[in-house]
Structure 1
Amino acid sequence: MLAIEKISDLPSGFAETAVTIGKFDGIHLGHKKLLSNLVAAADEHMLASVVVTFDRHPDALFKPESAKLPLIGPGQKLVHLEESGVDAVLTLPFDHEFAALSARDFVQQILVDGLHARLVLVGEDFRFGAGGAGTPETLKVLGAEFGFVVRVIGSANIDGVKVSTTRIRELLDQGDVTKAAELLGRNHYSAGVIEHGLKIGRTIGFPTANMTRECEGYLPLDGVYAGWLYADGEKYPAAHSVGINETFQAVPRLVESHVIDRLDLDLYDKFVVLEFVAFIRPAAKFDGVEALVEEIHRDLDKCREILEI
């Protein structure tokens, strides 16, 4: 898959394209529906499939004080887009200059002159151009003028509820990683490098891998989760703890993971993936080490049962 940040980076002679456009801030089932339709249509019409996306959510530019953290980071986004089978991803900087483009200028500069689009697929809630003035109907009118066809792909629904990034974030904020996984079409996960921490866990018999605070992947509600840890091509059953360790010392919010029944792993400085499978309990402060150790044993028993190990 070709990943570029400027249209000028497209190779000379790049094929005419089938394009979809969006934030793709979760790569959930709705996004996957759009992407699968894109790849199929591109193959059918012998076009290159291209995703146009952005380096940040518009709220990060216009409402930074209230902008929500993304469900996935830029690295995760590219991984999932590549898995979808698209030929290229164009990640444009969403800055004030770009945001000021009219709907018509966006179409002419990006889709027509830049990507030589012949087919454009968008979701039913798609908005584009300055102030979000452009709609799918606007795009169809411009498509007729500039010579490309527009297809509007309906949303994905689970149990009558529209799949959306907002709904998934709400579920993660409630700790319901199991329901979130249904809307994502996969388990939610965080990915990053393991760094040295206070090493408190190993002093009580439960060493933990502390993920860097620069990790990608939205952290769910503070608490303990059953899940999996992936490192060096291996998959390990694990208990993940999200939050701050108030029993010993308040530290910045992070996720740390204990690989179940393994005391011999050295994960420092390794890139790992922490996958969330099920919520065990909310975060709590304990009256001393003994109470904490007892609770950890109960947590691990629940994890073993959920993960069937």
Structure 2
Amino acid sequence: MRIFRSIDEITEQLPGAVATIGNFDGVHLGHREIFRRVKRDAGLLGGTSVVITFIPHPVKALDLQRDMRLINTYAEKELLIEASGIDCLVTIPFTPGFAAIGAEAFVREILVGRIGIRKLIIGSDYAFGRRREGDVNLLRKLGERFGFEVEVLEQISGDGIVYSSTAVRRMVAEGDVRGVVRLIGRHFSIGGTVVHGLHRGKDLGFPTANISTEKELIPRPGVYAVKVKIGDVFYDGACNIGNNPTFGNERESIEVFILDFDRDIYGEEIRVYFIDRVRDECRFAGIEALKEAIARDVASCRALLADVSIIEYREYLGGVMA
């Protein structure tokens, strides 16, 4: 996939460009269906499939006083869009200057002038441009004027579920990591670097990998059955998210006990895939009670993970996007 990190990098129009525009946070099943149609129609034209998105997310850039946590890091989003088989990704820096561009100027100068749009596929609630003045009706009028087709998709759903980034955020924040697979089509994961913690796990007989991550959206505090990817190998694990109330830590941490594993991985990048929630985080009367609870957690995780296969972004689109 070719990535343009600014409009200025597009020095010639993309042949037969079929595009979609949006933030695509989470790259959920609804987004994937849009990408599938973009790829299909570009193929029919012998053209180029294009996804146009923004960095940072407009909510972050405009400081709208909303506590919205992104589902994916920008690096994850790029990988997920690439896994969808898209030819070109255009990531437009969302600056105050860009936010001030009117809808018609955006279409004329960027979609038509730079990209050479032939067809635009959008959702029914899509709006763009200064003060979101560009709606579906305006796009269709501009499409007629500049010679590109506009296709509007209604809300995309499956099995009675409407796919939305808001729903994904809610489910992950509530700890429903098993249920969210139905919306994103893969296991929710967190990538990060293994860093030194307080080393209490080792003293308890359950040494943990403490993870430093750029991920904004973290599951609700508690214990989770997880799969841990180190290099190309998967391991079963038990993950605790929270502030360890038995010890009264002030900062929330993400700690993973990797089952049947004994190697120093400080400084290494790992990825944790969340399979199911085991329990809430609890305060225990003492160290022995905590050790007994951890042992039960590990046994529960081992049983939950026995027959689980991870759905990764490289795999879940293999047959769908062909």
> Which bracket does the TM-score occupy, shorter chain normalised?
over 0.9
Conserved in 2, the CA contact under 8 Å of 1:176 and 1:279?
yes
CA–CA separation in structure 2 for the residues paired with 1:114 and 1:251: 51
Q: Give, in angstroms, the shift of residue 65 of structure 1.
A: 3.1
Q: CA RMSD in A?
A: 1.6
Most deviating of 57-66 and 277-286: 57-66
Conserved in 2, the CA contact under 8 Å of 1:23 and 1:53?
yes
Q: Give, in angstroms, the shift of residue 99 of structure 1.
A: 1.2
- Alignment pair present for 1:171 and 2:171: yes
Superimposed CA distance per residue, residues 282-305 of structure 1 (whole angstroms, 9 cap, x where no aligned partner): 111222211111111111111112
User: What's 1:105 paired with?
Assistant: 105
Aligned pairs, number? 307
- Alignment pair present for 1:291 and 2:276: no
CA–CA separation in structure 1 for the residues paired with 2:23 and 2:274: 23
Most deviating of 267-276 and 155-164: 155-164
Most deviating of 2-11 and 193-202: 2-11
CA–CA separation in structure 1 for the residues paired with 2:270 and 2:214: 10
CA–CA separation in structure 1 for the residues paired with 2:81 and 2:119: 19
- SS class of match (1:178): coil
Counterpart residue identity of residue 90, structure 1: V
Aligned counterparts, 1:1-309, within 5 A:
1-10=1-10, 12=12, 14-212=14-212, 214-216=213-215, 218-262=217-261, 264-308=262-306
Conserved in 2, the CA contact under 8 Å of 1:59 and 1:67?
no
Over 3 Å counting, the alpha-carbon distance change for 1:278 and 1:66 in structure 2 is same
Q: Give, in angstroms, the shift of residue 195 of structure 1.
A: 1.3
Most deviating of 148-157 and 179-188: 148-157
CA–CA separation in structure 2 for the residues paired with 1:300 and 1:119: 52
Counterpart residue identity of residue 98, structure 2: F
Most deviating of 156-165 and 236-245: 156-165
Over the matched positions of the two proteins, sequence identity in percent amounts to 34
CA–CA separation in structure 2 for the residues paired with 1:190 and 1:112: 38
Q: Give, in angstroms, the shift of residue 142 of structure 1.
A: 0.8
Where does structure 2 lack aligned partners over 5 or more consecutive residues?
308-322
Most deviating of 274-283 and 126-135: 126-135
Counterpart residue identity of residue 80, structure 2: H
Q: Give, in angstroms, the shift of residue 246 of structure 1.
A: 2.5
TM-score (norm 2): 0.91
Most deviating of 153-162 and 108-117: 153-162
Superimposed CA distance per residue, residues 240-290 of structure 1 (whole angstroms, 9 cap, x where no aligned partner): 11111232241422322111132x122211111111110101111222211
Conserved in 1, the CA contact under 8 Å of 2:121 and 2:152?
yes
Conserved in 2, the CA contact under 8 Å of 1:156 and 1:163?
yes
CA–CA separation in structure 2 for the residues paired with 1:254 and 1:144: 54
Conserved in 1, the CA contact under 8 Å of 2:173 and 2:217?
no
Conserved in 2, the CA contact under 8 Å of 1:121 and 1:151?
yes
Over 3 Å counting, the alpha-carbon distance change for 1:224 and 1:162 in structure 2 is same
Over 3 Å counting, the alpha-carbon distance change for 1:64 and 1:250 in structure 2 is farther
CA–CA separation in structure 1 for the residues paired with 2:20 and 2:113: 16
CA–CA separation in structure 2 for the residues paired with 1:112 and 1:267: 50
Conserved in 1, the CA contact under 8 Å of 2:195 and 2:209?
yes
Most deviating of 46-55 and 249-258: 249-258
Q: Give, in angstroms, the shift of residue 217 of structure 1.
A: 5.6
- SS class of match (2:60): helix
- SS class of match (2:274): strand
Q: Give, in angstroms, the shift of residue 161 of structure 1.
A: 3.1
CA–CA separation in structure 1 for the residues paired with 2:39 and 2:4: 18
CA–CA separation in structure 2 for the residues paired with 1:110 and 1:287: 63
Where does structure 1 lack aligned partners over 5 or more consecutive residues?
none
CA–CA separation in structure 2 for the residues paired with 1:230 and 1:119: 40
CA–CA separation in structure 2 for the residues paired with 1:227 and 1:156: 29
- SS class of match (1:197): coil
Over 3 Å counting, the alpha-carbon distance change for 1:12 and 1:133 in structure 2 is closer
CA–CA separation in structure 2 for the residues paired with 1:71 and 1:13: 32
